[in-house]
Amino acid sequence: MLRVGVNGYGTIGKRVADALAAQPDMEVAGVAKTTPNFEAAAAHRRGYAVHAALDERRPAFDEAGIPVAGDLDDLVRASDVVVDCTPAGVGAQNRERYETHDTPALYQGGEDADAVDASFNARANYDEIAASDAEHVRVVSCNTTGLSRVLAPLEEAYGVEKTRATLVRRGGDPGQSDRGPINDILPDPVTVPSHHGPDVNTVLPDLAVDTMGVTVPATLMHLHAVNVTLETEADADAVSETLASESRVFVVPERARVAGPAHLKEYAKDAGRPRGDLWENCVWGASIAVEGRDLYFFQAIHQESDVVPENVDAIRALAGDADAAESVVKTNRALGVGSFETTRSETVTTDGRGAAASADD
């Protein structure tokens, strides 16, 4: 059993902890949190050993009635691997501490690519990372993960001459009541191309990808308007099959009458998915179109959860002995990834068998 510590228990950390708990070959060594808020209390109720990430805040945990299992060093010592889920920029500051304990660590996409040994996406470069001696690895961001999952198979099947994508980004997550914009449509960044294209190149180095970022008043998911100029001709049905054969791409059928992210989220909640999460890229089947060698489609990306199975796989790439195919199957099966339409109304529990039992193998 791989013992995995989770440092940071916010939007990503709490999902990663539950996903780890659901794996047959992993256990949660504990979680670390700076503030004893409602999420820390939930972590304790779920049975995770809660660690106070900042020593000076430890009395606040006592006051809040949340038992503290130790400090951050205790957590790192108890872990074979740490998944750093702290806010962007904090992860890089934590690297030295993990190195002191000689503990490999994962970081999230908010960290700079050059703050780590390598960047990771299961579909793009799992085996390469597993074969390398990288010990400090960044799981690329939600948008980059979403692009990599479709570009890797398109490159393999048809060759990609150039990708141009407009990323219409949610202004903040549902819980981030301090974010905006309200009633605006922001070029973000106003400079073109945005950083997302170069970020894809940290896991798929040879692809030509230009991206433009826009931010809008919505919280549920990002929407990508994607154009891929293929190297060879392909019809829309063939592309649809190529994408549908990917376990982490859900080609939304027209019959589902899914208009946008709000419907997708309803769908996920009705399916009983934990927190209504959508781990897969959601590509509208009706949008897949080819004009000459130009492929177009829309996909929605759930910013809170699409990197969660990637973090699980990255742990195995760093510290396990599974290859990419084995790890992805194991992760998907334990969580129910790719079994969108059949997942029963059960949530992932800390003993990890809830979602696994309901997954469509």
Q: Is 238 in the site for a second copy (CB under 8 A)?
A: no
Please list the residues that pair with 228 across neighbouring strands. Answer: 163, 295
Pick left, alpha or beta for residue 203 (phi over 0 → left; psi -120 to 50 → alpha; otherwise beta).
alpha
Distance in angstroms (rounded) separating the CA atoms of residues 263 and 282: 11
Among 86-94, 149-157, 181-189, 312-320, which window interacts with a second copy (CB under 8 A)? 181-189
What's the closest the beta carbon of residue 40 comes to a second copy, in angstroms?
Answer: 28
**Total site size for a second copy, rule CB under 8 A:** 43
Q: Is 85 designated active site?
A: no
What's the closest the beta carbon of residue 168 comes to a second copy, in angstroms?
Answer: 5
CA nearest 123: which of 279, 247, 264? Answer: 247
Q: Is 256 in the site for a second copy (CB under 8 A)?
A: no
Binding-residue pattern over the window 143 to 172 for a second copy, x denoting contact by CB under 8 A: -------------------x-x-x-x-x--
Among 68-76, 117-125, 180-188, 335-343, which window interacts with a second copy (CB under 8 A)? 180-188
Residue with token string 């510290």: 319
Q: What is the dihedral of CA 8, 174, 165, 341, to 10 degrees?
A: 90
Distance in angstroms (rounded) separating the CA atoms of residues 184 and 309: 33
Residue 47, φ and ψ in degrees, nearest 5? 95, 5
Separation in Å, CA 53 to CA 9, 19, 57, 241: 10, 21, 8, 46
Cβ closer to a second copy: 192 or 325? 192
What's the closest the beta carbon of residue 181 comes to a second copy, in angstroms?
Answer: 7
Q: Is 278 in the site for a second copy (CB under 8 A)?
A: no
Distance in angstroms (rounded) separating the CA atoms of residues 293 and 177: 43
Q: Is 184 in the site for a second copy (CB under 8 A)?
A: yes
Return the SS3 of 167. Answer: strand
Q: Write out the catalytic residue numbers.
A: 142
Interface residues with a second copy (CB under 8 A)? Answer: 162, 164, 166, 168, 170, 181, 183-187, 190-193, 210, 212, 214, 216-223, 225, 227, 259-262, 284, 286-289, 291, 294, 296-298, 300
